[in-house]
Amino acid sequence: MLDILTLGDEFLREKTERIKDFGPEIPVLADAMVEAMQGERGIGLAGPQVGVLKRIFVVDLPEEKSARVFINPEILETSQELASYEEGCLSIPGMYANVIRPVYITVQAQDVEGKPFTIKADGLLARVIQHENDHLQGVLFIDRLTEEKREKILKEYEKRGKRKK
Ligand code: NI
């Protein structure tokens, strides 16, 4: 089982590399990521969160039958229309905040076999894709908050961590 890294781990702040070789290890990695995500009841998980500095993330929404895998994703278009919606992150467990993002996106990516696909997404799917895509550049949802809100979350997170010990 893959371990999910949490805030403070430097892997979460690293940039990632494109996947060029679509060998049998890619579906194995994707499956392991889906398993780790579902084990924590998450709806998205990106490579850096499991210490893999590659451009891959997985998404599993409650209303969809199976998890989706995005490899080497590029967000081609984003809507001008923005929305605020509550986000959390398996790497910052227990913390939630409203994040403003475009409502609609067009994203291009490859599947586990390297086959390219393009989708238009809105709603929760668009939201999760943007959150996970951020992870691939070392960006966390707290980076998209005002400094005041970020400080508040970080303080609360630290307090919770101390209580657990
Ligand atoms: Ni996250």
> Is 147 labeled as catalytic in the residue annotation?
no
77 Cα–ligand 1 center, Å:
21
Is 5 part of any domain? no
Q: Is the pTM of this model over 0.75?
A: yes
Domain of residue 70: give its range.
Answer: 10-164
HSE-CB for 164 with a 13 A CA cutoff: 8
162 Cα–ligand 1 center, Å:
22
Pick 162 or 152 by higher pLDDT. 152
User: Which residue, among 91, 85, 98, 76, has the nearest Cα to 146 in the 3D structure?
Assistant: 98
Is 4 part of any domain? no
23 Cα–ligand 1 center, Å:
26
Is 149 part of any domain? yes
81 Cα–ligand 1 center, Å:
22
CATH of residue 76's domain is 3.90.45.10
pLDDT of amino acid 156: 95
Is 52 part of any domain? yes
Is 49 part of any domain? yes
pLDDT band of residue 164 (cuts 50, 70, 90) is: low
Out of 17, 25, 63, 132, pick the active-site residue. Answer: 132
Mean pLDDT of 14-20: 97
Instruction: Count how many domains the chain has.
Output: 1
